Structure 1
Amino acid sequence: MTPDPLPPARFTTGRLLVLAAATAVFVWFVAAGPDEAVVVARSGEWRAAARQHLPAAVGLFVLVEVCLVALSLPVNLWLTVLAGFLFGAGLGTAVVSASSTAGAALAFLLARYVFAGPVRRLAQTRPRLARAFERIDRGVEGHGAFYVAVLRMTPVFPFWLVNLGLALTPIRLRQYAWASWLAMLPVTVVLAAAGAELAEITSFREVLSARVLVLLALMPAVPLALRLVADRWLTPSAPRSGR
């Protein structure tokens, strides 16, 4: 059986509200927020403290991210930018890549061995949830680790739903882990680079510099490009009619 192609990604009301709230906070911060000199000075102090106590800072960051990702909280984007801001693009990418993969693996294990029974019972009373799990199961059955990578690369399902749904499939932890790591790496690189670039600004006006704008544009562009590639790969070709 050919697995279903990916469902269309939609801008739900919740996502639009989050985007509107983030825009409002940004506008307020620039227009009436803290003094520019204070923000720049404090951010420099934070980066200096992180460099001065690098092993402790990295260890604390890894612990926090592993726990939050294991709970399937959607905080990885902001933590990746923060890692690039504090540790630089290279180290920030390495730290986030390792800790987010470890957190995803822990979430997978919890979902498979602790919450599998309650989740299956919940799905029996929630038809939409059951259909989502069935779609994920068919995708893994047809494409294996590649489908895991596709779900990680593109915002088709919520992060928590991906973790739960994949844990209910027969996929092995090793396949799940390396596919998740590889799929999250491109966006991690872009976000960490954006954080490192933000660390170099000396005024709020520099947030709109060409380099920062390019990196900000890449944030949605990379998942979109990966989504298009995945759609082309997963959608079965129409059979040619014989002559």
Structure 2
Amino acid sequence: MKEVTQPAKRSVLRHMPLAVILVVAVIGFFTLRDYLSFETLRENREALLAFRDANYPGVVAVFVGLYFVIVAFSLPGAAVASVTGGFLFGLGLGTTFNVIAATLGASVIFMAARWGLGRTLAAKMDASDGALKKLKKGLRENEISVLFLLRLVPAVPFFVANLLPALVGVKFVNFAFTTVIGIIPGAIVFTWIGVGLGEVFDRGETPDLSLLWEPQVIGPILGLCALAALPIVVKAIRGRKEGI
């Protein structure tokens, strides 16, 4: 009886981290979206700037910690946090802190999913035949390119780009590397918006996050997407020629 109970307990424990993340994400969606907003930032901007000037290292630590929690638990307000990074620290440091916090938070989701559900699915994919096995093989051959595409394509939700790689068994080092590099373009855009946030608030306006979809911004990002997809296309063409 104990031999049966122990594996069951281990299975439950493995799934617990991801389950906690999902529960907190749902609760946060309904309870925090009115607080983690640009309106809250507008109302507290003078206090935030004063606190930053009085205790810069402390503000950096608090900011990175809060952003990390937002991403790790998929809470609302990630865009607000990114813009706040530019508002408080400028383009260079703001982008750096945004990327660090987002990468750490993304890694938590990845590891939570990998430890539980991802381990189960990866084992099933390794043991399977047919289309599922081909999918796993294709992913392994193009792992870096696929991960870059997940990060660069704006239509892919950040949570999905954190969760999906863990479920199909990609290497953590590749996940971390492509996350750091792949989120930099978007991080720069949002941080840049934050640099001019004070003037936007002075005019009584709200930051326009649609800037990401402007041709001069989305064009280079789509170009990076095409570059990331190029190795996949080249391998597919070579595979067809070899099969003829």
Relative to structure 1, the CA distance from residue 231 to residue 175 in structure 2 (aligned partners, 3 Å threshold; closer, same or farther) is closer
Aligned to 1:177: 176
Instruction: Give the aligned CA root-mean-square deviation in angstroms.
Output: 3.9
Aligned to 1:109: 111
Relative to structure 1, the CA distance from residue 138 to residue 222 in structure 2 (aligned partners, 3 Å threshold; closer, same or farther) is farther
How far apart are 1:221 and its partner, in Å?
4.4
How far apart are 1:154 and its partner, in Å?
0.8
Give per-residue Cα distances to partners, 1:141-169, cap 9 Å, x unaligned: 23122221111111354333322221123
Which stretch shifts more, 140-149 or 224-233? 224-233
**Relative contact order (C-alpha < 8 Å, sep 6+): which is higher?**
1
Given that 2:150 and 2:156 are in contact with CA atoms closer than 8 Å, whether structure 1 keeps it comes out as: yes
In the superposition, the TM-score normalised over structure 1's length comes to 0.62
Aligned to 1:168: 167
How far apart are 1:237 and its partner, in Å?
4.4
Amino acid at match of 2:115: Y
How far apart are 1:48 and its partner, in Å?
2.7
Given that 2:152 and 2:221 are in contact with CA atoms closer than 8 Å, whether structure 1 keeps it comes out as: yes
Which stretch shifts more, 227-236 or 86-95? 227-236
Tell me, in whole angstroms, the C-alpha distance in 2 between the residues paired with 1:224 and 1:143. 19
In the superposition, the TM-score normalised over structure 2's length comes to 0.62
Matched, 1:142 2:141: yes
Aligned to 2:57: 55
Given that 2:68 and 2:104 are in contact with CA atoms closer than 8 Å, whether structure 1 keeps it comes out as: yes
Give per-residue Cα distances to partners, 1:23-44, cap 9 Å, x unaligned: xxxxxx9xxx9xxxxx5x9534
**SS of alignment partner, residue 168 of structure 2:** coil
Aligned to 1:76: 78
How far apart are 1:223 and its partner, in Å?
3.6
> Which structure features the higher share of helix residues?
2
Tell me, in whole angstroms, the C-alpha distance in 2 between the residues paired with 1:214 and 1:136. 36
Aligned to 2:225: 227
Given that 1:47 and 1:87 are in contact with CA atoms closer than 8 Å, whether structure 2 keeps it comes out as: no
Tell me, in whole angstroms, the C-alpha distance in 2 between the residues paired with 1:147 and 1:187. 17
Mind listing any 5+ residue stretches in structure 1 that lack a counterpart?
A: 1-28, 34-38, 124-130
Matched, 1:87 2:89: yes
How far apart are 1:100 and its partner, in Å?
0.7
